[in-house]
């Protein structure tokens, strides 16, 4: 890609006997939001730390905004913003003091650093709390200040490492809205997440990472299509009849999943209308009452499960 904001070729990083990155490839176009999706320990944070020059890769080629992260770390640092998993703020200082300090370290003139700090506080709804020490901030406020701190100089490339982990739903929505507004400004965003919904909501393209490699990438729709197209969901009134329903419904037995808590059975379908009509008829004839029958695209959860073939880890991650 000529217009790549991030290029990673065969990146490797080892900690002791754990291969955190094992020949990872990644290409992110300018001005796009790229989701890196994977369970704990897949290598997401290692990747972000390498991209943001905090960690040196053992091998491979890694370029951000057209510069090599090892040989031209200084140039990369001029062009990136980083929102790590843990707040990268001075907890003893106030919000405004933090933003001014980061502005000065980006070599803004004193006056510009002040103006910029005020703008960002305003924009992230923190104007009233600028003097308060960050250690007295709530989790959501801290996250927003952290995000503001990574935007002090409008970075070309922004890294968000699990930006909403530990936030309540409201905080999560706020962060999502901020990320969306950034993309309008032309910033390239690389976002890691364990939340499939988050990748689905925000990312133009998604790379699924497992054991330090990219095991699939594409748009959310492409990934979903790879899992085998549409699915039918049937919710029964009586969960005890799930077994019987699975036996009599006209779907191939492999690929059918059953969720007893939700009285739900789900199966891949090839021909949507035939499947729907067949299901309705079969249930009616057997006298099994259905609460809901619906056709849908697979969720990213199912995509993930399908790709990794690793059932229990996905549940942990999701």
Partner 1 sequence: MSTTYETSSPGTYGAYALADCWTMTRRELAHWARQPVQVAVGLIFPVMLLLMFGYLIGGGRGVEGAYVDFLVPGMLALTMAFGLEGTMLAVTQDLNKGVIDRFRSMPMANGAVLVGRSAADMLQSGLGLAALIGVGYAIGWRPHGGPGAFLGAVGLLLLFRFAMLWIGIELALVAGKPEMVQAVQILVWPVGFLSNAFATPDSMPGWLGTAVEWNPMSQTATAVRDLFGGPGGEPGHLWAAAIWPLGLLAVFFPLAVRRFGRLSV
Piece of 29-37, 79-87, 203-211, 289-297 that binds partner 1 (CB under 8 A): 79-87
As a whole number of angstroms, the distance between CA 14 and CA 292 comes to 49
The residue within the footprint of partner 1, chosen from 112, 226, 297, 306 (CB under 8 A), is 112
**Separation CA 252–CA 277 (nearest Å):** 16
311: phi then psi, degrees, rounded to nearest 5: -55, -55
Q: Is 181 helix (H, G, I), strand (E, B) or coil?
A: helix
Which of 186, 250, 252, 309 binds partner 1 (CB under 8 A)? It is: 186
Stretch that binds partner 1, among 109-117, 222-230, 256-264, 276-284 (CB under 8 A): 109-117
Distance CA 93, CA 97 (A): 6
Q: Which of 14, 30, 77, 226 binds partner 1 (CB under 8 A)?
A: 77
Q: Which is nearer to partner 1, 177 or 294 (CB)?
A: 177
Specify whether the backbone of 125 is left (phi greater than 0), alpha (psi in -120 to 50) or beta.
Answer: left
Residue with Cβ nearer partner 1 (67 or 263):
67
Q: Which of residues 7-66 bind partner 1 (CB under 8 A)?
A: 52-56
Count, residues near partner 1 per rule CB under 8 A: 40
Please, which residues bridge with residue 179 across strands? none
Residue 62 CB partners (closer than 8 Å, separation 6+): 7, 8, 9, 11, 50, 51, 68, 69, 70
- 145 vs 236, which CB is nearer to partner 1? 145
Token digits of residue 153? 């100089």
Q: How far is the CB of 194 from partner 1 (least distance, A)?
A: 19
- CB-nearer residue toward partner 1: 146 or 200: 146
Q: Please report whether residue 88 would count as binding partner 1 according to CB under 8 A.
A: yes
Q: The tokens of 170 are what?
A: 């409201």
In total, the chain counts a number of residues equal to 318
User: Quick one: which of 20, 26, 80, 216 contacts partner 1 (CB under 8 A)?
Assistant: 80
Distance of CA 205 to the CA centre of its chain: 10
**Contact of 223 with 303, CB cutoff 8 Å:** yes
Query: 152-181: which residues touch partner 1 (CB under 8 A)?
Result: 153-154
Does 185 participate in binding partner 1 (rule CB under 8 A)? yes
Residues that bind partner 1 (CB under 8 A): 52-56, 74, 77-78, 80, 82, 84, 86-93, 97, 101-109, 112, 116, 133, 149-150, 153-154, 182, 184-186
């Amino acid at each position: 890609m000529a217009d790549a904001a991030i290029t990673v070729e065969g990146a490797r990083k080892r900690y002791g006997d754990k291969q955190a990155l094992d020949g990872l490839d990644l290409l992110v176009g300018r001005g796009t939001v790229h989701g890196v999706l994977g369970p704990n320990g897949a290598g997401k944070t290692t990747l972000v730390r390498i991209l943001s020059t905090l960690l040196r890769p053992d091998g491979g080629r890694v370029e951000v905004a057209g510069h090599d992260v090892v040989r031209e770390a200084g140039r990369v640092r001029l062009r990136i913003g980083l929102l790590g998993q843990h707040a990268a703020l001075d907890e003893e200082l106030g919000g405004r003091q933090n933003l001014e300090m980061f502005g000065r370290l980006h070599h803004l003139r004193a006056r510009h650093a002040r103006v910029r700090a005020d703008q960002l506080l305003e924009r992230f709804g923190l104007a009233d709390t600028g003097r308060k020490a960050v250690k007295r901030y709530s989790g959501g406020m801290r996250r927003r200040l952290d995000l503001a701190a990574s935007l002090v100089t409008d970075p070309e490339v922004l890294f968000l490492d699990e930006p909403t982990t530990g936030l309540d739903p409201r905080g999560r929505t706020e962060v999502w809205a901020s990320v969306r507004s950034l993309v309008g400004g032309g910033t390239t965003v690389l976002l890691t997440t364990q939340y499939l919904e988050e990748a689905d909501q925000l990312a133009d393209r998604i790379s699924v990472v497992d054991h330090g490699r990219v095991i699939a990438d594409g748009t959310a729709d492409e990934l979903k299509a790879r899992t085998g197209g549409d699915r039918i969901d049937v919710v029964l009134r009586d969960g005890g009849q799930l077994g019987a329903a699975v036996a009599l419904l006209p779907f191939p037995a492999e690929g059918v999943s059953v969720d007893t808590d939700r009285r739900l059975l789900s199966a891949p379908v090839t021909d949507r209308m035939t499947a729907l009509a067949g299901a309705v008829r079969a249930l009616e004839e057997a006298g099994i009452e259905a609460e809901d029958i619906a056709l849908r695209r697979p969720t990213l959860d199912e995509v993930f499960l399908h790709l990794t073939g690793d059932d229990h880890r996905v549940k942990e991650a999701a």
